[in-house]
Structure 1
């Protein structure tokens, strides 16, 4: 990846190489150069980060405005004119599966390289990949973990099969276990970390077995006599308290499951559950990763104009808008303090504590100067819940580990739908 110095050298070289009789027309964001026999195509200096649920669809129902919006984004050959990345807090499927769903929804080819799931940044946490992990969630959680680089994996359902007597909320099942199961020592490798991908189907089972795993520091054959001072690493993806599906009311999400887990652990032990890493919006590490993915799309598209502005379009003030504004503050501090000094992330300590040094180095060369947050009214947020109400009596729907700053939940741009969002962005960028 080019360094900041190399970028400056390239800019200087381009100026020197520009033909003498070349005339530049248009804005800085979209330029065409004519010298008699050469025409440079219009290029954007901005990129788009799309949330999915509540912006492009509601559950399985595609919003008509989404189809119209993406017609504006494609050229006459059906190819995207602007670099686009889809950033979702969903974590119950593989990137490839989500890309296929988006392709069907938007009626043109979306690649897995354009999709950032809530768990995608864990691919960069290579120092965790050799740990034996317990994974919670639904869908192909084992395949998801493998795709991220983890090698030693046990699912909650597999752990329950090994220790059936630990899952006894169901009274009818408990009577069956009394007849057939005798306590015995289980030969199972100790668990080194817990990874929570998304809300499980059987909440009580995951809550019980995750707490058992944390209390025993991964050795479920043991009986702890005191709460461990430092428990094993706990990694959570997606802190959305609520999300929007086909129903007219918001549905509880993985953030609600985490709230239950944290409350139970603290009530049982008297201590707070500590997270090693939180990924998904609004964490800065997720926006770091999304920006890196978008820059890769810029290169694949063959664009030469640097991307200076990122627009993050979402429906949830507590995650989409808060996260975009939080990352915008980070970008500002990065520019002021120089890239090499701005390595902190909101959750889990410094970037160097979470990522390999090579990943930190890679992300520091991302080039955006500003991130604008765009709020649509087709999901969690609606016109009935006006920004004036949110500002007057703000309710903190964010995760407990994100310090709540009400102004960060206020968008740069508010529009009705994603189609209007694209129109407003094009207008601002003088892009046609």
Structure 2
């Protein structure tokens, strides 16, 4: 409760920074990069937030080139990277390249040890194609698994087989991992089949063995409990699905579900990956400041502040990179050799999405229990959910950045 009170005290409407700044064609000598969240900041579902187009027009020059490096970081994961870039370009009326987009699953392409093993994927959209573009060579979908083992999915009576079907295709054993791209369409089917695979060590046609000495690795993308679409209130996100899966696994085994990796905001892995993309746009020159604009305290603001803490500790050499990442999210992140990290990451909260300063926080209980996915290594501290700046919308966020970075 004290955390909630402190957050509310910091994020009052009187603290909004609404600045009137004209676009600039050049900035100060500092090297600046910007990370934009999408849902709740630029879009509400398929609709553009009115301030979004005005904001982005202030970030491009007469040739429609961005004034400084910009990356769009979203926890969405049900599409391909170039499709998301095309969608954003069309809706926001600016040219956005695929290299400027980070989806929740994008960093998986760096996890090469899993790429040549058979993996099970859950989510929606072109999951097989998504997995292949990330480097995974042997992919089994939930639909394929259900077709191969039709007696496993028994919740929907209308889809129950009337006889034992035979299938000509024999699927390979799930060898290495389960990859959870995002919230699936039929939660009951996905929960059942994922549990079947976990408790049989990749052989869902066999009897459960709840005494397995080792759990099959699970890679989860997107921890958002809530996200903002066209509806008046936030919608359930993939983090809620993960909570259901964790609860079922603990109930059946008495053990905690462990994750090999958790990706998407607020994972440090995702922010490190996004900074590399900013650096590529900046001719590989080091950035001084990264501004991260978002609408969700528990993903955008928490993640940006956690990354800022990581950057500060990295520059003071108080701990190794690997230990820092493990402290933040429990996900091992490979150290980037000879990578000069930015000096700081500043978080900017907008009030056009999940966060609404006029609405109470869910349940008015401890914020870590109501709004943050219950990862064991994610600890909510007041300073991690306190934005560097709070503004009304993304246009005000851009005005703030331009004023901060323009020559005096």
Alignment partner of 1:265 is 2:249: yes
The alignment partner of 2:346 has SS state of strand
Residue 158 of structure 1 corresponds to which residue in structure 2? 144
Residue 22 of structure 1 corresponds to which residue in structure 2? none
Alignment partner of 1:408 is 2:384: yes
2:50 maps to which of 47, 64, 71: 64
Q: Deviations over 1:162-217 (max 9, x none)?
A: 0011011012322xx1x321699984321021000000001101000000000011
**Cα separation, 1, equivalents of 2:384 and 2:61:** 35
Is residue 88–residue 96 contact of structure 2 (8 Å, CA) maintained in 1?
Answer: yes
The alignment partner of 1:218 has SS state of coil
| Runs of 4+ deviating beyond 6 Å | 183-186
The residue correspondences of 1:118-157 to structure 2 (distance < 5 A) are 118-157=104-143
Cα–Cα, structure 1 residues 243 and 226, in superposed 2: closer, same or farther, change >3 Å? closer
Alignment partner of 1:214 is 2:194: no
Is residue 315–residue 380 contact of structure 1 (8 Å, CA) maintained in 2?
Answer: yes
Q: CA deviation at 1:43?
A: 5.6
Cα–Cα, structure 1 residues 100 and 31, in superposed 2: closer, same or farther, change >3 Å? closer
**Cα separation, 1, equivalents of 2:118 and 2:358:** 47
Is residue 25–residue 61 contact of structure 2 (8 Å, CA) maintained in 1?
Answer: no
Cα–Cα, structure 1 residues 54 and 31, in superposed 2: closer, same or farther, change >3 Å? closer
- Structure possessing the higher relative contact order (Cα contacts under 8 Å, 6 or more residues apart): 2
**Cα separation, 2, equivalents of 1:318 and 1:349:** 17
Q: CA deviation at 1:227?
A: 2.9
Q: Which is greater in Rg?
A: 1
1:250 maps to which of 228, 234, 239: 234
Residue 279 of structure 2 corresponds to which residue in structure 1? 295
Residue 316 of structure 1 corresponds to which residue in structure 2? 296
Is residue 40–residue 295 contact of structure 2 (8 Å, CA) maintained in 1?
Answer: yes
RMSD of aligned alpha carbons: 2.3
1:428 maps to which of 397, 404, 408: 404
Residue 12 of structure 2 corresponds to which residue in structure 1? none
1:199 maps to which of 183, 192, 202: 183
- Unaligned 5+ residue runs, structure 2? 1-23
Residue 337 of structure 1 corresponds to which residue in structure 2? 317
**Cα separation, 2, equivalents of 1:366 and 1:149:** 27
**Cα separation, 2, equivalents of 1:261 and 1:52:** 27
Is residue 262–residue 331 contact of structure 2 (8 Å, CA) maintained in 1?
Answer: no
Residue 399 of structure 1 corresponds to which residue in structure 2? 373
**Cα separation, 1, equivalents of 2:365 and 2:247:** 25
Cα–Cα, structure 1 residues 111 and 124, in superposed 2: closer, same or farther, change >3 Å? same
Is residue 185–residue 221 contact of structure 1 (8 Å, CA) maintained in 2?
Answer: no
Is residue 148–residue 167 contact of structure 2 (8 Å, CA) maintained in 1?
Answer: no
Alignment partner of 1:181 is 2:164: yes
**Cα separation, 1, equivalents of 2:153 and 2:205:** 15
Cα–Cα, structure 1 residues 182 and 84, in superposed 2: closer, same or farther, change >3 Å? closer
The alignment partner of 1:73 has SS state of coil
Q: CA deviation at 1:130?
A: 1.3
Normalised TM-score (structure 2): 0.87
1:347 maps to which of 324, 329, 334: 329
Cα–Cα, structure 1 residues 196 and 410, in superposed 2: closer, same or farther, change >3 Å? same
Is residue 186–residue 221 contact of structure 1 (8 Å, CA) maintained in 2?
Answer: no
Cα–Cα, structure 1 residues 147 and 431, in superposed 2: closer, same or farther, change >3 Å? farther
Q: CA deviation at 1:76?
A: 1.4
The alignment partner of 2:290 has SS state of strand
Q: CA deviation at 1:394?
A: 4.4
Is residue 292–residue 366 contact of structure 1 (8 Å, CA) maintained in 2?
Answer: no
Alignment partner of 1:382 is 2:356: yes
Q: CA deviation at 1:407?
A: 2.4
Normalised TM-score (structure 1): 0.82
Q: CA deviation at 1:393?
A: 5.5
Alignment coverage as a number of residue pairs: 376
**Cα separation, 1, equivalents of 2:346 and 2:80:** 28
Is residue 64–residue 95 contact of structure 2 (8 Å, CA) maintained in 1?
Answer: no
The alignment partner of 1:428 has SS state of helix
**Cα separation, 1, equivalents of 2:233 and 2:407:** 36
Residue 266 of structure 2 corresponds to which residue in structure 1? 282
Alignment partner of 1:80 is 2:66: yes
Cα–Cα, structure 1 residues 186 and 82, in superposed 2: closer, same or farther, change >3 Å? closer
